A and B are shown apart, each in its own frame.
Chain A
């Protein structure tokens, strides 16, 4: 599939695509060199000259643009695309806006109405980012990332959350605090087993746990003032305070409260048998 999609249109596509620059760069060195000549020859055996002329023309008119894109891609490759999402996102943005710049320059004589507000806004942010990145740092900064929770099933009624230790370490929070929050939010109980895994009573999906963790981070990890995650959780006479290491702001956070627990039939049964 990819080989047939690949051939001559790729050059054009590269310019117009606003998505997946990583895919393109990945493709270029590996499959591109091998597949293009063969498939091109096969496809264009009849209309050979025509097609090539067409291509040439295109190239001439857009040579500057194409080279710019290529330059950028080379830079991208040089920088190496790391596995974290943030840099690729930024790269994505950069490429799209580069494309936009070119597009705008290209289409200006034909129709000025193409310059929409969104495009202009994108362009503005691009320029802002290029010239003084610290002003638009909130989008560009290294995205906070924690490993996804590994959630499995233990038996029929329990859920195993195996990497809670690493996650809580990554967030610089005591594991007990995280566990406490999880239990309060999910309205269950559980325990930590021998190899630092959390056993939660009840069936929970990874997605659910992830959502709860996300909320935990919002409430107990991120600094509300500067959105930094470089924070500390301090306890001062029964009150928890969140202190930001990067901007020094300080705010109080709620203590974790379980709230109302509905009495289920199981609980009732258990209470009945114990008494």
Chain B
């Protein structure tokens, strides 16, 4: 929905709708190592029209893990889950929220 603003002025010579070129509103899913084999999954850049709190609650229930919302000055609200939930988060975002897969980027190993 956020990309509608960009589309209003159509430039035929602009780059074709390659989602890789529009980096601004991409969702990043990262995985970070904690001590031992434990990991933290962070989800950054979920569009603000979604209710983060509700997403968090459902995801926590679904994955059976804890998680919380971190407020970052630059990056906005970041969801954080315990454990490596990257694939599950990706599945959730693509199916339940119907975010195109090209807008989501998975990082980590």
> Residues of A at under 8 Å CB distance from B?
184-188, 202-205, 207-209, 211-212, 254, 259-262, 264-266
**CB pair A260 B33 closer than 8 Å:** no
What is the CA–CA distance of A120 and B61 in the complex, to the nearest angstrom? 51
**CB pair B30 A187 closer than 8 Å:** yes
For residue B6, give the distance in angstroms from its CB to the closest CB of chain A: 17
Q: Which of B57-73 contact A (CB under 8 A)?
A: 70, 72
Closest to B40 in A: A262
What is the CA–CA distance of A204 and B108 in the complex, to the nearest angstrom? 11
**CB pair B109 A266 closer than 8 Å:** no
Q: Which 5 A-B pairs have the closest CB atoms?
A: A208-B109, A187-B32, A202-B33, A260-B44, A262-B40
Q: Tell me which residues across on chain B come within 8 A of A259, comparing CB atoms.
A: 28, 30, 42, 44, 75, 107
B78 at the interface (CB under 8 A from A): yes
25 contacts between A and B (CB under 8 A): A185-B109, A186-B33, A186-B108, A187-B31, A187-B33, A187-B108, A202-B33, A203-B33, A203-B37, A207-B109, A211-B109, A254-B23, A259-B28, A259-B30, A259-B42, A259-B75, A260-B28, A260-B42, A260-B75, A260-B78, A261-B42, A262-B70, A262-B78, A264-B34, A265-B34
Q: Tell me which residues across on chain B come within 8 A of A205, comparing CB atoms.
A: 109
Q: Tell me which residues across on chain A come within 8 A of B108, comparing CB atoms.
A: 185-187
What is the CA–CA distance of A188 and B34 in the complex, to the nearest angstrom? 10
For residue B36, give the distance in angstroms from its CB to the closest CB of chain A: 8
Number of residues on chain B facing chain A (CB within 8 A): 20
What is the CA–CA distance of A237 and B100 in the complex, to the nearest angstrom? 32
For residue B65, give the distance in angstroms from its CB to the closest CB of chain A: 14
Encoded as 1 (CB less than 8 Å from any A CB) or 0, chain B from 28 to 54 comes to 101111110100101010000000000
**CB pair A262 B42 closer than 8 Å:** yes
Q: Which of B10-34 contact A (CB under 8 A)?
A: 23, 28, 30-34
Closest to B72 in A: A260
Contact of B109 among A209, A254, A261, A262 (CB under 8 A): A209
**CB pair A264 B40 closer than 8 Å:** yes
Q: Tell me which residues across on chain B come within 8 A of A208, comparing CB atoms.
A: 109
For residue A176, give the distance in angstroms from its CB to the closest CB of chain B: 19
Closest to A156 in B: B36
Contact of B35 among A187, A204, A207, A266 (CB under 8 A): A266
Most buried by B among A187, A202, A265: A187
Q: Tell me which residues across on chain B come within 8 A of A212, comparing CB atoms.
A: 109
Q: Tell me which residues across on chain A come within 8 A of B44, comparing CB atoms.
A: 259-260
B80 at the interface (CB under 8 A from A): yes
What is the CA–CA distance of A12 and B23 in the complex, to the nearest angstrom? 56
For residue A216, give the distance in angstroms from its CB to the closest CB of chain B: 12
What is the CA–CA distance of A262 and B84 in the complex, to the nearest angstrom? 13
**CB pair B32 A264 closer than 8 Å:** yes
What is the CA–CA distance of A259 and B80 in the complex, to the nearest angstrom? 13
